[in-house]
Structure 1
Amino acid sequence: MQAVVDFILELDRLKQVTRKIRVRGTERYENPAEHSWQIAMLALSLAPCAAEPVDADRVVRMLLVHDVGEIDAGDAFFFAEGDAQARTAAERAAAARIFGLLPAPQAASLLALWDEFETGASAEARFAHAADRAMPVLLNLANAGQSWRDNGVSHAQVVGRLAGPIRAGCPALWDYLEGRLDEARRNGWFGA
């Protein structure tokens, strides 16, 4: 029991990590714990629209663990330049440490879910990626492009980085977002 309690209390630290996007209608930036909950709900809601049949419960489990490594590694802005491989290695090491607080079978199971998400090796992982990539877009659209404007992100950058993963996991979601992104560009909601 103590191992589970220690693990859950360690996860509380995820609430202290700050992301680059504000909670809708506020000046407060969200944290990865909020983000993980919201994309899990997005995925449950969109599961019938997935590109391939998915096990929605597995997708939700994946989304609940995918940002755990940010407890140690922090959150990196999606459009920032940098060594993506080093970043992923740091997050994986952190995830292994944190999941390692649990008994070995549970730790291995959660780390395997984390790895599956990172590699995009299944229909569930591709759909989870689509939800993960789409949620910041939805928040930016609800906040008049706040994060894009604050960080100098262009329409071309958003489309270039997000169209592929979202379309691969949930084509209907990309079809929806594409029109909204064009409208956001006309409204001047991009930073570059």
Structure 2
Amino acid sequence: MSEATPELAFGELTEVVAFLMEIDKLKSIQRRTKVLGTQRQENTAEHSWHFAVGVMALAPYAGDKVDINRVVQMALVHDIVEIDAGDVLVYDLAGRAAVHAREEAAAERLFGLLPEPQRGHFHQLWLEYEAGETPNAQFALMLDRLMPVLMNLHNRGQSWVENGIRLEQVLSRNAFIGDVYPALWEHLKRHLDAAHQDGWLK
């Protein structure tokens, strides 16, 4: 917990309560994308909620090998590490590489606030998501890449324009979507070409 927050005892739930209060900080981590129709940047907690609902909405397209309940859990915990590590733009490849060690340390600290078995369960969800090897993690990663693209396509390319993002960057960084959901990627590419023509992407 924050040093300014008194330690409160809740019996066997004390560690769980401490974790829940610590992750409230995720609401203060700002992302590059703005909430549609506003000038306010979304925070990472809002993104995680949007991502989780997206998983539920696209569940019929996930395939038999995907456990939607587990993917929803991944969506809700995948960015908790940003409390310590901060948010790095997906197109900042050097920044993404540099932040990895901080994210691992953050996962150890934050999930370590929980007792077992929650500690191990949360940490394993994060590790599975980061590895991106299981059908669950691949579906989760696809949705995590998809949501900011959809937001930009419905917000006149707001974060693309503000960060000088090029069409080839978006195509290259998000091509993974096509591996998981080829038909959706074909639609997205047409919209991305249109965004480029409209000047939303360099």
Please give the TM-score of this superposition, normalised by the length of structure 2. Answer: 0.89
Higher relative contact order (CA 8 A, sep 6+): 1
Deviation at 1:53, TM superposition (A): 3.1
Deviation per CA, 1:149-183, whole angstroms, max 9, x where unpaired? 100001111001101x2122333332321221122
Match of 2:118 among 103, 106, 109: 106
Deviation per CA, 1:71-114, whole angstroms, max 9, x where unpaired? 00100011124253431221121022111111032111111110
Distance 1:51 1:169 in 2: 10
Instruction: Verify the 8 A CA contact 1:14 1:71 in the aligned structure 2.
Output: yes
What RMSD in Å do the two structures reach over aligned CA positions? 1.4
Q: Which residue in the other structure is 2:74 paired with?
A: 62
Larger Rg: 2
Instruction: Verify the 8 A CA contact 1:36 1:67 in the aligned structure 2.
Output: yes
Q: Which residue in the other structure is 1:122 paired with?
A: 134
Instruction: Verify the 8 A CA contact 1:16 1:31 in the aligned structure 2.
Output: yes
Deviation at 1:121, TM superposition (A): 1.8
Q: Which consecutive segments of 4 or more residues in structure 1 shift more than 4 A?
A: none
Distance 2:37 2:126 in 1: 31
Match of 2:163 among 140, 147, 151: 151
Match of 2:192 among 181, 185, 188: 181
Amino acid at match of 1:187: D
Deviation per CA, 1:21-68, whole angstroms, max 9, x where unpaired? 101111000111000100111111112223663110000001111101
Question: Helix, strand or coil: the match of 1:19?
Answer: strand
Match of 1:88 among 92, 100, 123: 100
Q: Which residue in the other structure is 2:9 paired with?
A: none
Q: Which residue in the other structure is 1:12 paired with?
A: 24
Give ranges in structure 2 of 5+ residues lacking alignment: 1-12
Instruction: Verify the 8 A CA contact 1:51 1:127 in the aligned structure 2.
Output: no
Question: Helix, strand or coil: the match of 2:42?
Answer: coil
Give ranges in structure 1 of 5+ residues lacking alignment: none
Instruction: Verify the 8 A CA contact 2:23 2:80 in the aligned structure 1.
Output: yes
Q: Share of identical aligned residues, percent?
A: 48
Q: Which residue in the other structure is 1:167 paired with?
A: 178
Count of aligned residue pairs for this structure pair: 190
